[in-house]
Structure 1
Amino acid sequence: MNENSGNRLKVLHIISGGDTGGAKTSVITLLRCLKDMIDIKLVCFIESDFTKEAKEQGIDLTIMKQKNRFDMTVVNKLTDYIHKEGFDLINCHGARANFIASKLKNKTEIKRVTTIHSDYEHDFDNNIYKKIIFTMLNKKSLKTFDGFITMAKDFKKDMMRRGFDNIYVAYNGIAKHQSHTETTKEDFCRRQNIPYKENSFVVGSATRLHPVKGIDVLLKACTIIKTYSEDIVFWIAGYGDEKYLREYEEYIRKNELEATVHLIGFVKEIDAFYQVIDINTITSHSEAVCYALLEGARFAKPSIGSRVGGIPELIEDGVTGLLFPDNDSEKLAASIIKIYEDQALAQRLGTHLHDKVMAEFTDEAMAKRYVEIYQEMLRG
């Protein structure tokens, strides 16, 4: 380890700073816990809600502003910063950070690892130009790294099939103890401007509005369930490209689902959302062990997930939740109805998932795993 760090591991984390959703939560949660174990610093290239929250969490943050994604003046600034601070390791997050760090290969001998938060083949599916150009650039950048941290065993297998090695697995984690304000379904509906029905049974999904999240699968399940019971309603929380929002709104209108499905947008009170829903659903076509599952587990919510990526590593079918085949709306609808009809099953699944997450998927466990990976890389 670097002499300047007083035998305490010193790691630089790099991320664009414009990140939202799971990647934002993952990095901030990791660094908030990691800073008590080792010396860490964070560099971002955009000033945003991400950087504001990181500062609020006491994370040592430096912003090196880019004029645009291809402004490479930050490479020399970053090189000088790395030499000045004497880091032992660099940990990148996301395509932009990967691209910039790839330019450091001949400027510093420090080992570089990147965290794979999602399947990089699908990160830019919402824009054909970005998908072609940025996916190709990210692939080239990844080939320059010394190691990779994935968030699911399935992601590790994908990376190995694509010819990468030195791949480690570190699951997302959530704080064991986090205070929240108690709320009711009625109060939440009033604050979010959602029609309130006294006997409603809420199927919730907090996700990004993006094709990879399988929202179309959930909407198709809604059309099936509508004919079964009018008491089952769906809340889809999240935001994304306006193009997809319009597509989902059009599907809802054409299938007369206005009273059944509510696109409630970004929810700041995410703890309140998970408190009042009755089922937590993850319908993604590609996913790690995602925070939406962990956050629902905190409140012991019965969960249903597609059998993809890291979801089966958290949901054991029939034990800690229910799984359905990817893209199978009929099976998803049947799983929702099964939990709706059996409250004893709902409680059992929710409790078992809560206990598993609190035992194995905590922020402390995640941070300890990262330290183990860093030490192993440095020994290697």
Structure 2
Amino acid sequence: MKVLHIISGGDSGGAKSHLITLSKELRKQIDMKILCFFAGDFYNEAKKIGLPVELLNQKSRYDLSVIKKIIKIIKDEKYDIVHCHGSRANWFIFLAKPFIKVPLITTVHSDYKKDFEGVNLYRYLVYTGLNRLALRFFDYYIGVSPEFKKMLVNRGFVENKVFSIYNGVDFDEKLDCIDRKSFAQKHDLIEHMDKKWVGIIARLDPVKGLDVFIKGAAEVLKARQDVHFLIAGAGGQKDELEKLVNTLDINNNITFLGHIKDVNSFYNALDINNITSYSESFTYVLLEGARFKKTTISSAVGGIPELIKNEETGLLFEKGNYNQFAGCVLKLLSDKETAVKYGENLYIHAKTNFSVENMVKQHIDIYEKINGK
């Protein structure tokens, strides 16, 4: 069985983590390759670690010449299944569909209605609209949590065409990272070394709820000053978020790290890992943090409550409620024993239920089911 995965190539978030993790194990069991439209974070890492990846060298988002290349690759290399990830892959395989006769799958990594929400009106109207159209023409869908499968079915997608597979990570992989002091030196955080570090890694987009993180930080700082907040990530909302930090007068208590490639060192340095999103599927940020046994706080959205069980493997708060978020932070900072226990419990729960082995097996089961029809 031959499966072709298609992704933009510039992904730096959950879709990147998902396909990199999946491909490292999947390639050992089936014949597979990844197509990328351009060289970016995803393509560069896939190439670096030796995954079977091919670059289409798309000149711009509007370069339609890649459609012929995709069709030729699928036909010449005789792929049995094409599996897409993300809006660009969805759109171009939709345009190629009349010329290929193999089953088409797409993994829905996020709520496609909110991917470009609040970022840029043109991008929101055009890119979201094109993706919504393209999605209706796939043969099968994978949601990365049961909540996302339910969302798709509620929006009119045929239930027996929609599968659900949780994201997974490799808990046996050696975690290379630098120590906290080295991380502090690298990111000009030495003056904050003696403080507790409360951090988040996310795209700086409205859906990620960084406003909740920042407003919650301001509330925490009213109660105690021995805390420093870290935001890792890039995105179109940066200026707006920096203005919010200025308005709340917490410039000296929060650091924007920008996009960081060494995420393991980020998790290793934290005292508390966080997600404050208004919408999520089943984010890799929590699984990656779980490998370091980091105590975790998250908004109760998407499939996250399956991983973060409130007051057992972490703490949950109502999305958008920055006061609740602040209360969770203060609770964990004041009770180190409980914080450590939550981190240990999270590691055990995640390793047992959300391993890469489970994720790969479920993908192969779906491929075999589809290919056998």
Q: Would you say same fold, with TM above 0.5? A: yes
Tell me, yes or no, if the aligned pair for 1:324 and 1:331 is still in contact at 8 Å: yes
The Cα of 1:181 is off from its aligned counterpart by 4.6
Tell me, yes or no, if the aligned pair for 1:283 and 1:305 is still in contact at 8 Å: yes
Separation in 1 of the partners of 2:148 and 2:176? 36
Q: What is the correspondence of 1:275-290 to structure 2 with a 5 Å cutoff?
A: 275-290=268-283
Residue 259 of structure 2: aligned partner? 266
Name which of 75, 81, 89 aligns with 2:73.
Answer: 81
Tell me, yes or no, if the aligned pair for 1:186 and 1:196 is still in contact at 8 Å: no
Structure 1's consecutive aligned runs of 4 or more residues displaced over 4 angstroms after TM superposition are none
Q: What is the correspondence of 1:59-74 to structure 2 with a 5 Å cutoff?
A: 59-74=51-66
Tell me, yes or no, if the aligned pair for 1:172 and 1:289 is still in contact at 8 Å: yes
Name which of 138, 162, 175 aligns with 1:167.
Answer: 162
The Cα of 1:118 is off from its aligned counterpart by 0.7
Separation in 1 of the partners of 2:9 and 2:264? 24
Q: Which residue identity does 1:224 align to in structure 2? A: E
Residue 3 of structure 1: aligned partner? none
Q: Which residue identity does 1:51 align to in structure 2? A: Y
Residue 28 of structure 1: aligned partner? 20
Residue 5 of structure 1: aligned partner? none
Q: Which residue identity does 2:4 align to in structure 1? A: L
**TM-score, with length taken from structure 2:** 0.96
Residue 109 of structure 2: aligned partner? 117
| More displaced 10-residue stretch of structure 1: 302-311 or 359-368 | 359-368
Name which of 359, 366, 370 aligns with 2:359.
Answer: 366
Tell me, yes or no, if the aligned pair for 1:18 and 1:48 is still in contact at 8 Å: yes
Residue 255 of structure 1: aligned partner? 248
| More displaced 10-residue stretch of structure 1: 111-120 or 78-87 | 78-87
Q: String of CA shifts for 1:187-234, please: whole Å, max 9, x gaps.
A: 321111124335311111111111110000011111111110000221
Name which of 212, 215, 218 aligns with 2:213.
Answer: 218
The yes-or-no answer on 1:51 pairing with 2:43 is: yes
| More displaced 10-residue stretch of structure 1: 203-212 or 54-63 | 54-63
Percent of residue pairs identical: 38
Separation in 1 of the partners of 2:112 and 2:305? 20
Q: String of CA shifts for 1:32-58, please: whole Å, max 9, x gaps.
A: 111011110111111223212111222
The Cα of 1:268 is off from its aligned counterpart by 2.6
| More displaced 10-residue stretch of structure 1: 348-357 or 74-83 | 74-83
Q: String of CA shifts for 1:306-338, please: whole Å, max 9, x gaps.
A: 011111121111111110001001111111111
Unaligned runs of 5+ in 2: none
| More displaced 10-residue stretch of structure 1: 219-228 or 188-197 | 188-197
Separation in 1 of the partners of 2:255 and 2:190? 9
Tell me, yes or no, if the aligned pair for 2:177 and 2:262 is still in contact at 8 Å: no
Unaligned runs of 5+ in 1: 1-8
Change (3 A) 1:181 1:101: closer
Q: Secondary structure at the match of 1:176?
A: coil
Separation in 2 of the partners of 1:68 and 1:190? 38
The Cα of 1:182 is off from its aligned counterpart by 5.9
Separation in 1 of the partners of 2:35 and 2:176? 33
Residue 150 of structure 1: aligned partner? 143
The Cα of 1:105 is off from its aligned counterpart by 2.3
**TM-score, with length taken from structure 1:** 0.94
Q: Which residue identity does 2:43 align to in structure 1? A: T
Q: What is the correspondence of 1:179-328 to structure 2 with a 5 Å cutoff?
A: 179-181=174-176, 183-241=178-236, 244-328=237-321
Q: Which residue identity does 1:284 align to in structure 2? A: S
The yes-or-no answer on 1:141 pairing with 2:115 is: no
The Cα of 1:351 is off from its aligned counterpart by 0.5
Q: String of CA shifts for 1:5-48, please: whole Å, max 9, x gaps.
A: xxxx2100011112112211111111111101111011111122
